[in-house]
Amino acid sequence: MISIREYILFQDHHLVVCNKPAGLPVQEDLSKDASLHRLVQSYCKQDLYLCHRIDRPVSGLVIMAKNTESAANINEQLSKHQFVKEYLAIVEKKEIPPEGVLNNKLVKASKLKKAYVNENSDGKESSLTYQLIQTLDKYLVLSIKLSTGRFHQIRSQLSYAGIPVKGDVKYGARRGNKDRSIGLHSWKANFIHPSTKQAVAFEAPLPANDIWPVIQQLITTS
């Protein structure tokens, strides 16, 4: 059984940087399952402030602050797009340009816990950029950077583009993954440390399940 310490990539007096496994909620939800937030708080023996969230079936970087000043600083960087997050997405194979921008209007259906693209609505403007970094037999691997941070944005926009995330049956994938994860990983984060004011960069190792080890090897050798 994995220990909470193995989720933690970095910590100091201001921040804790975690690599969340798929399936573990960031915060408590209706399932009442243990959450990353609560587990890491218990490990650190103090209150922690979530700077951002990722969905339960998504793996990768989650950053928490150890004090309100650091949390406010990170939130300000996020609002000013100075906090840069990069995701890896495994999507169904389709002929697409090797790089591009997706701009859509997203509407959140709270009861269904889902987001929809509706270009004729007053939905929230949502934008992401992608780059094709690997082509596999049945899938593509995309690097994705968000210009906005909407609910289920990557999952919804990729689905609308006809390239749903692997295993994401909620958004049109043909079949789910056995462990209920989806092929989306919060991979890299670049921002200014709230105390030292130095640029910092973090990278979450790819999961050891599904086809991620193959992708890790391809990325390492490319």
Per-residue pLDDT of 207-218, as tens digits, reads: 999 999 999 999
Distance, in Å, from the CA atom of 220 to the CA atom of 176, rounded to the nearest integer, reads 27
* Spatial distance between the Cα atoms of 102 and 4, rounded to a whole number of angstroms: 36
Cα 80 from Cα 14, distance rounded (Å): 20
User: Which 3 state secondary structure label does DSSP give 186?
Assistant: strand
Give Cα separations from 71 to 16, 39, 75, 82, 131 (angstroms). 11, 19, 6, 14, 30
Q: Which residue has the higher pLDDT, 34 or 64?
A: 64
Q: d(Cα 200, Cα 192) in Å, to the nearest integer?
A: 6
Q: What does the pLDDT look like over 85-127, one tens digit per residue?
A: 999 999 999 999 999 999 999 999 888 889 999 988 888 999 9
The whole-model pTM stands at: 0.94
Average pLDDT over residues 152-159: 97
Distance CA 173, CA 167 (A): 6
Q: Which residues pair with 18 in a beta bridge?
A: 8, 62
Question: C-alpha dihedral over 168, 170, 171, 175, to 10 degrees?
Answer: 50
Residue carrying the six token digits 């037999």: 137
Looking only at the bridges linking them, the beta strands covering 199-203 and 114-117 are: unpaired
Instruction: Determine the Cα–Cα distance for residues 106 and 150; give it in Å rounded to an integer.
Output: 8
What was the pLDDT predicted at 119? Answer: 86
pLDDT tens per residue across span 164-173: 999 999 999 9
Of the listed ranges 26-30, 127-131, 197-201, 207-211, the least confidently predicted one is: 26-30
198 confidence band (pLDDT: 50, 70, 90):
very high
How would you classify the pairing of strands 84-92 and 114-117? unpaired
Number of neighbouring beta carbons within 10 Å of residue 218? 14
All structural domains of the chain, each given as residue ranges with its CATH number in brackets, are 4-221 (3.30.2350.10)
Q: Taking phi first (over 0 means left), then psi (-120 to 50 degrees means alpha), and beta for anything else, what does residue 32 get?
A: left
Q: What is the mean pLDDT of the chain?
A: 94
- pLDDT > 90? residue 29: no
pLDDT at 2: 60
**CB-CB neighbours of 6 under 10 Å:** 9
pLDDT of 88: 98
From CA 49, how far away is CA 150, in angstroms rounded? 20
